[in-house]
C-alpha cells in the first residue's frame, strides 16, 4: 500500500484533505464511544478496539506513513494508542456486572460503577483532545510547507 501511495505523488491539497478526513473519522469514533458510555446500544463493530482497525488508524498506519519522518506525525501515535487502551477499559467496565452484597447496596454499587465509567470517559475525552491537538499541529505543519518541501516528503 505504501509504495503504491508514494508512486501516485499526492498533492499537498490531497494530503490536507486526508488529514481532515482522519479528524472527522476520529470525531465520529468518539461519538460512538460517548453513546456507548451513556448506555446506548452501539454495534461492537462501530467502535473498533484496536488502533489499527478504526478509519483513522487505517489511514495512519497505511497511506499516512509517507509522513512518518515528521515529528508532528510521530506525536500522533502515542495518544491514538492510549485512546484505544482507554476505550478498552471503558468497554470492559461498561459490561462488568454490578455486584451488591451484604455490605454494599445495589444502588451504591451502581453509583460506584457509574462514577468509574464517568472517570474513564473523562480520561478518554482528555486523550482525544490531545490527539486532536496533535493532528491540528500536523495539519499546520503540512499547510506551512511550500510545494518543494512537500514534494521531498512524498
Report, as an integer, the average pLDDT of 117-121: 96
- Give CA–CA dist 147/62, Å, rounded: 23
Query: How many CB atoms within 10 Å of residue 63?
Result: 19
Note the pTM of the prediction, 2 decimals: 0.84
Buried b / exposed e over 32-58, threshold 16 CB at 10 Å, is bbbebbeeeebeeeebbeebeebebbb
pLDDT of residue 124: 96
CB-based burial of residue 85 (10 Å sphere; 0-12 exposed, 13-18 middle, 19+ buried)? middle
Q: Measure CA 17 to chain center.
A: 18
What are the extents of the domains in the chain? 2-153
Report, as an integer, the average pLDDT of 3-26: 78
User: Which residues, 6 or more positions from 40, have their beta carbon under 8 angstroms from its beta carbon?
Assistant: none
DSSP characters over 73-114: HHHHHHHHHHHHHHHHHHHHHHHSPP---SSS-HHHHHHHHH
Q: Which stretch of 51-60, 77-86, 99-108, 116-125 has the lowest confidence by average pLDDT? A: 99-108
pLDDT confidence band for 96 (50 / 70 / 90):
confident
Q: Does the structure show a pLDDT above 80 at 44? A: no
Q: Does the structure show a pLDDT above 70 at 5? A: no
Amino acid at each position: 500500500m505504501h509504495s503504491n501511495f508514494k508512486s501516485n505523488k499526492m498533492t499537498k491539497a490531497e494530503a490536507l484533505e486526508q488529514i481532515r478526513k482522519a479528524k472527522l473519522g476520529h470525531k465520529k469514533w468518539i461519538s460512538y464511544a460517548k453513546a456507548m458510555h451513556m448506555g446506548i446500544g452501539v454495534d461492537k463493530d462501530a467502535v473498533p478496539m484496536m488502533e489499527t482497525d478504526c478509519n483513522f488508524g487505517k489511514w495512519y498506519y497505511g497511506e499516512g506513513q509517507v509522513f512518518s519522518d515528521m515529528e508532528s506525525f510521530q506525536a500522533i501515535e502515542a495518544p491514538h494508542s492510549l485512546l484505544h487502551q482507554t476505550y478498552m477499559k471503558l468497554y470492559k467496565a461498561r459490561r462488568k456486572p454490578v455486584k451488591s452484597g451484604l455490605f454494599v447496596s445495589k444502588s451504591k454499587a451502581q453509583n460506584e460503577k457509574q462514577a468509574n465509567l464517568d472517570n474513564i470517559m473523562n480520561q478518554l475525552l482528555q486523550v482525544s483532545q490531545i490527539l486532536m491537538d496533535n493532528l491540528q499541529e500536523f495539519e499546520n505543519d503540512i499547510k506551512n510547507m511550500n510545494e518543494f518541501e512537500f514534494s521531498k516528503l512524498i
